[in-house]
Amino acid sequence: MCLARPERKRYTCPVVKKTENTPTRLVQGNQAIAEGALYAGAGFYAGYPITPSSEIAEECSVVLPGIGGMYIQMEDEIASIAAVIGASLAGAKAFTATSGPGFSLMQENLGFAVMGEVPCVVIHVQRSGPSTGLATKPAQADVMQVRWGRHGDQTLIALCPATVRECFELTVQAFNLSEKYRTPVVLVSDEVVAHMRENLRVPEEGELAIIDRKEPSVPPSEYKPFQADEDGIAPLAAYGSHYVFHVSSSMHGPDGLSNNDPANAAWKIDQIHRKIDIHRDEIVMTRAFDTDDAEVLVVAFGITTRASRAAAAQARGAGIKAGVLQLQTLWPFPDKEIRCAAQGARRVIVPEMNYAGQAANEVRRVLGPDRDIRGVNSFNGQIIWPQDILKTIMA
């Protein structure tokens, strides 16, 4: 006899039902993220309150218990991501939300999720730093931390919304990618997108695809939790199912047991990277606005996308063909898409709310040293305005 899997309902967003007759509602970015998570099938939230992400926790604490799910407030962010990973291994679609200092605290166990190939979603609402910083003014200064914040050879997926609608849709995508590729996915928001309110039409059930993790089909005695199929992804059972398995932070073989053999270590590190590398075209999402004939290309992400689009429109009015490439996927970095959009551009501008030009440096890596690549940077807790970008377009 074995335990039945905890029932995983296809949760429909309860708010939708109440507003069947109103196609759209005025919704806050954080609220849209919570609703997107529920739409994707999230049944477990563990977190620790921190501004500007707390509305996500509050919404989950209200909705999840009413639909048989669970909200648990942990003692810190280290425990929050740990509980999320534990619940995911017990079969939940699980997530947490945090900001700046909390995201820093989550790094070690995010590394565990990479190593253990555990699906989970972390909503990271960026705020000013370092440390407590300008609490809690916006920033986009964690581009590199999101990618490299953990020690060791590791990688993950990061998505970045610019609108309330994208908060909803990219959260659904974050769960889908996490489940499909057995990897943590970070949804990198920022304080402005988080607290902004816009009209949102919540998709009907079935309108957006929902992906669940691949489960094993072999007999229990043959199951190896890290033995990848041809698509590079290993099926994942749940604790409490009829499969018995082992998940470890230590270097392990396909069976999940400790294995310090150099050839095995090389296999494992390759597997973590390969499953994302070979599927990068399915993972990388960008939106192009007037890039086909752009002589000036603005590469933007998050809230800065909106100022970039306004600036590009104004530049067009003034006779300069400007376009915007929005990076909805931040990691893996959209190298190919940037190269393509920048083909005919004499200048590339990367506006971002950080001092060092973290994304601009990536664009420089992609396009090479001979191109005219300029940053527009804000690092005082103030957003970047269209006129700031327009000046650099016209210069």
Partner 1 sequence: MTVITSGLRYLKEGVTPHMWCPGCGNGIVLNALLRAFEELAYKNEETVVATGIGCWGKADDYVVTNGFHGTHGRALAFATGMKAFNPRLNVVVLMGDGDCITIGGNHFIHAARRNIDVTAIVVNNFNFGMTGGQVSGTTPFGMFTSTTTYANPERDFDICALADVAGANYVARGTPWHGFELEENIKEALNKRGFSVVEVFSPCPTHYGKYNKMGTPVEMLKRIREMALPKEEYARLDPAQKEAYFPIGKLVDRDDPDFNARYDEVRSRAMKG
Alpha-carbon distance of 165 to 288, in angstroms, equals: 17
Alpha-carbon distance of 73 to 170, in angstroms, equals: 24
Binding of partner 1 at residue 245 (CB under 8 A)? yes
- Smallest gap from Cβ 79 to partner 1, in A, equals 4
Binding of partner 1 at residue 227 (CB under 8 A)? no
Binding of partner 1 at residue 178 (CB under 8 A)? no
Binding of partner 1 at residue 123 (CB under 8 A)? no
Beta bridge mates, 267: none
Closest to partner 1 by CB, 220 vs 344, is: 220
Two tokens, residue 250: 């230590």
Q: Please state the separation of Cα 293 from the chain's center in Å.
A: 30
Identify whether the C-beta of residue 69 lies closer than 8 Å to the C-beta of residue 44.
Answer: yes
Binding of partner 1 at residue 92 (CB under 8 A)? yes
Strand 286-289 relative to strand 329-331: parallel, antiparallel, unpaired? Answer: unpaired
List the one residue out of 386, 242, 372 whose CA is nearest residue 308: 386
Residues 54-73 that bind partner 1 (CB under 8 A): 62, 65-66, 68, 70, 72
Residue 199 in 3-state DSSP?
Answer: strand
Closest to partner 1 by CB, 255 vs 335, is: 255
Binding of partner 1 at residue 3 (CB under 8 A)? yes
Alpha-carbon distance of 55 to 31, in angstroms, equals: 7
Residue 389 in 3-state DSSP?
Answer: helix
Binding of partner 1 at residue 49 (CB under 8 A)? no
Contacting residue, 39, 44, 181, 333, with partner 1 by CB under 8 A: 44
Binding of partner 1 at residue 95 (CB under 8 A)? no
- Smallest gap from Cβ 156 to partner 1, in A, equals 16
- Smallest gap from Cβ 218 to partner 1, in A, equals 15
Binding of partner 1 at residue 251 (CB under 8 A)? no
Identify whether the C-beta of residue 115 lies closer than 8 Å to the C-beta of residue 272.
Answer: yes
Two tokens, residue 314: 């104004």
The window from 84-92, 181-189, 285-293, 337-345 that contacts partner 1 (CB under 8 A) reads 84-92
Binding of partner 1 at residue 46 (CB under 8 A)? yes
Binding of partner 1 at residue 316 (CB under 8 A)? no
What is the greatest pairwise CA distance in the chain? 73
Alpha-carbon distance of 21 to 169, in angstroms, equals: 21
Give the count of residues interacting with partner 1 (CB under 8 A): 51
Binding of partner 1 at residue 24 (CB under 8 A)? no
Beta bridge mates, 347: 296
- Smallest gap from Cβ 214 to partner 1, in A, equals 19
Binding of partner 1 at residue 19 (CB under 8 A)? no
Identify whether the C-beta of residue 282 lies closer than 8 Å to the C-beta of residue 184.
Answer: no
Residues 6+ apart with CB under 8 A from 57: 45, 47, 49, 71, 73, 97
Contacting residue, 27, 94, 123, 162, with partner 1 by CB under 8 A: 94
The window from 75-83, 132-140, 275-283, 309-317 that contacts partner 1 (CB under 8 A) reads 75-83
Contacting residue, 12, 16, 49, 74, with partner 1 by CB under 8 A: 74
Contacting residue, 34, 83, 272, 350, with partner 1 by CB under 8 A: 83
Buried b (16+ CB within 10 A) or exposed e, 18-41: eeeeeeebebbbbbbbbbbbbbbb
| Contact residues: partner 1, CB under 8 A | 1-3, 6, 43-44, 46, 62, 65-66, 68, 70, 72, 74-76, 78-80, 82-92, 94, 108-109, 112, 220, 238-250, 256-258
